């Protein structure tokens, strides 16, 4: 996972500032620390906490060069991108000679800004001696439908994002994915477009095709054409997940269907598999069969955790009965709150934003907290081994 890249934008035009912010939002590691119209206001912000990059508008060549040089002399560690309406060689040459990291002609072209950000991001990682700690991959799985697997995947992702984590969400229900509908998204690119390019993809490519949702979750949707679903190969998927883990602290994968192919490949590279089930007899029978089969395949209790969904403590089948049948303790129970879950889906909004007080939201927060705590424990263990 890469350290975040902070930005200060100084631009007299509000529309231009907004446009730059919108582009930066699509870059998972970017954090806009301040966006101001005036150079002096920008300087005040930079003095408080120097960002990695300042995006500075130059309206006048001499004045712009002076501001640029001043910033670079006072804050040698930052990169300055100049934006200007002028597109002539004299401006570009003199700004670059004065030390501008990039010269972007206004109105800003998103792809050009992203290219510049990608370049500086690579340098930033090198400079910070960043030894890429891999993010955590978590599959949410039940072979059958109707267990609330997508509800848990989507809401866990949104809860982790609300806790300040960088989160990607992949819809691996290749033939009938719902993630985009749950979040009211119409992504231009999907998993099939990405896997078609394996061997050529890298973090910057993925950053450009993965869709940011207002919750902070970045979504890689399933294929739109069913014919494309068959073409996604397990090893391609592993490559994509591996790269996402270099960008995001958490990659959540909504899975379903049988125990082979892309599912098995995904489980292989997952740190956790959250097995969802309801407390009814058919669901528990299947859970028993599948947990045993997964154990046989090497996905045992250290990786697979049980999440009981739609839990009603007074139901005929009690939690303790289920734990006995499945020979596993529940990692998390999620209460039954059908109206909340249904309305959240119909509105295309995660529960944390439309029903922050729902018992399901609370359970998602507990689940996110447990998973995050495990990461902290793991990090401490690694640190101790190093010492
Ligand atoms: N905790 C909950 N309380 C009440 N209803 C829930 C809960 N979780 C999910 N549901 C409801 O269960 C139904 C199925 O949910 P969801 O689509 O998430 O399941 P799924 O296992 O992904 O199924 P599929 O992929 O086959 O559509 C939805 O109507 C959803 O609103
Ligand atoms: Mg589903």
CA of 372 to the centre of ligand 1 (A): 24
- How many Å lie between the centroid of ligand 2 and the Cα of residue 152? 9
Which ligand has an atom closest to residue 309 CA?
1
CA separation, residue 354 to residues 140, 163, 358 (Å): 22, 16, 9
Residue 203 pLDDT level (bands cut at 50, 70, 90): confident
Cis-peptide, bond into residue 107, ω within 30° of zero: yes
How would residue 30 be classed by pLDDT, with cut points 50, 70 and 90?
confident
Distance CA 366, CA 334 (A): 10
Express each pLDDT in 156-182 by its tens digit: 999 999 999 999 999 999 888 999 999
Mean pLDDT for 274-279 is: 98
How far is ligand 2, taken at its centre, from the CA of residue 178, in Å? 6
Q: Is the pLDDT of residue 278 over 90?
A: yes
Contact call for residues 359 and 335 (beta carbons, < 8 A) = yes
Check if 361 has its Cβ closer than 6 Å to any atom of ligand 1.
Answer: no
Ligand at shortest distance from the CA of 149? 1
Q: What is the pLDDT of residue 158?
A: 98
342 CA closest ligand 1 atom index: 31
pLDDT the model gives residue 323: 97
Do residues 363 and 335 make contact, with C-beta atoms less than 8 angstroms apart?
yes
The verdict on the CB of residue 148 being under 6 Å from ligand 1 is yes
Which burial class, exposed, middle or buried, applies to 121 when counting CB atoms under 10 A from its CB (0-12, 13-18, 19+)? Answer: buried
**CA 259 – ligand 1 centroid, Å:** 21
Cβ of 274 below 6 Å from ligand 1:
no
- Rounded Cα distance, 223 and 155, in Å: 21
Closest Cα to atom 24 of ligand 1: 145
Please, are residues 164 and 212 in contact by the beta-carbon 8 Å criterion?
A: no
Specify the pLDDT at position 27. Answer: 77
- Read off the pLDDT band of 76 (50, 70, 90): confident
Ligand 1, pocket-test mutation among 175, 332, 341, most atoms within 8 A of CB: 341
**Global model pTM greater than 0.85:** no
Sign of the four-CA dihedral 193, 246, 135, 7: negative
Query: 171 C-alpha vs ligand 2 centroid, how far in Å?
Result: 9
Alpha carbon distance 277, 144 (integer Å):
9
**The ligand 1 atom nearest the CA atom of 363:** 1
Antiparallel, parallel or unpaired: β 217-220 and 211-212: antiparallel
Comparing 57-66, 167-176, 187-196, 200-209, the range with the smallest average pLDDT is: 200-209
Phi, psi of 140 (to 5 degrees): -115, 125
Residue with tokens 């089948």: 317
Q: Which residue has the least CA distance to atom 12 on ligand 1?
A: 148
> Rounded mean pLDDT of 16-26?
92
pLDDT band at 249 (very low <50, low <70, confident <90, very high): very high
Could you tell me the distance, in angstroms and rounded to a whole number, from the CA of residue 251 to the centre of ligand 2? 17
* Beta strand extents in the chain (DSSP E only): 5-10, 30-36, 53-57, 79-84, 102-105, 136-142, 167-171, 211-212, 217-220, 250-256, 272-277, 304-311, 330-335
Nearest CA to ligand 1 atom 10: 148
Atom 9 (ligand 1) nearest CA? 148
Which domains, from first to last, does the chain contain? 5-127 (3.40.50.2300), 136-386 (3.40.50.300)
Q: Are 254 and 145 in contact (CB under 8 A)?
A: no
Alpha carbons 299 and 103: distance in angstroms, whole number: 51
Q: How far, in Å, CA of 387 to CA of 382, rounded? A: 9
Is 82 in a helix, a strand, or coil? Answer: strand
Residue 252 is encoded by which pair of tokens? 């959540």
Pocket test for ligand 1, best of 139, 141, 144, 148 (most atoms within 8 A of CB): 148
Which of 141, 137, 187 is CA-nearest to residue 160?
137
335, 127 in Cβ contact below 8 A?
Answer: no
Ligand 1 mean position, distance from CA 150 (Å): 7
For residue 148, what are its two tokens? 């609330």
DSSP conformational letter for 313? T
Q: If we measure between CA atoms, which residue out of 139, 88, 117 comes closest to residue 2?
A: 117
């Amino acid at each position: 996972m890469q350290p975040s890249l902070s930005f200060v934008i100084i631009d007299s035009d509000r529309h231009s500032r907004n446009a730059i912010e919108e582009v930066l939002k699509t870059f998972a590691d970017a954090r806009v620390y301040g966006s101001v119209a005036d150079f002096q206001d920008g300087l005040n912000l930079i003095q408080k906490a120097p960002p990695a990059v300042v995006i500075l508008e130059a309206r006048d060549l001499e004045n712009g060069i002076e501001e640029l040089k001043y910033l670079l002399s006072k804050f040698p560690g930052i990169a300055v991108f100049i934006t200007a309406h002028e597109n002539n060689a004299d401006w570009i040459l003199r700004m670059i000679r004065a030390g501008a990291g990039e010269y972007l002609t206004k109105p800003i072209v998103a792809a050009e800004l992203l290219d510049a950000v990608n370049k500086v991001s690579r340098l930033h990682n090198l400079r910070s001696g960043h030894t890429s700690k891999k993010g955590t991959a978590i599959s949410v799985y039940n072979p059958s439908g109707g267990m609330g697997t997508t509800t848990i995947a989507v809401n866990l992702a949104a809860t982790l994002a609300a806790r300040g984590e960088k989160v990607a969400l992949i819809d691996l229900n290749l033939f009938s994915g719902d993630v985009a509908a749950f979040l009211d998204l119409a992504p231009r690119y999907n998993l099939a477009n990405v896997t078609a390019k394996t061997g050529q993809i890298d973090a910057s490519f993925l950053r450009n095709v993965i869709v940011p949702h207002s919750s902070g979750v970045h979504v890689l949707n399933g294929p739109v054409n069913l014919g494309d679903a068959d073409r996604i190969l397990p090893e391609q998927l592993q490559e994509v997940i591996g790269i996402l883990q270099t960008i995001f602290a958490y990659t959540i994968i909504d899975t379903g269907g049988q125990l082979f192919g892309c599912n098995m490949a995904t489980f292989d590279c997952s740190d956790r598999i959250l097995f969802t089930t309801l407390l009814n007899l058919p669901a528990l029978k299947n859970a028993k069969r599948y947990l045993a089969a997964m154990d046989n395949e090497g996905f045992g209790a250290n990786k697979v955790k049980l999440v009981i969904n739609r839990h009603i403590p007074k139901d005929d089948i009690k939690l303790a009965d289920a734990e006995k049948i499945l020979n596993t303790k529940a990692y998390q129970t999620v209460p039954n709150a059908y109206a909340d879950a249904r309305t959240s889906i119909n509105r295309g909004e995660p529960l944390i934003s439309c029903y922050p007080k729902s018992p399901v939201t609370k359970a998602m927060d507990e689940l996110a907290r447990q998973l995050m705590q495990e990461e902290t424990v793991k990090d401490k263990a690694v640190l101790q081994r190093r010492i």
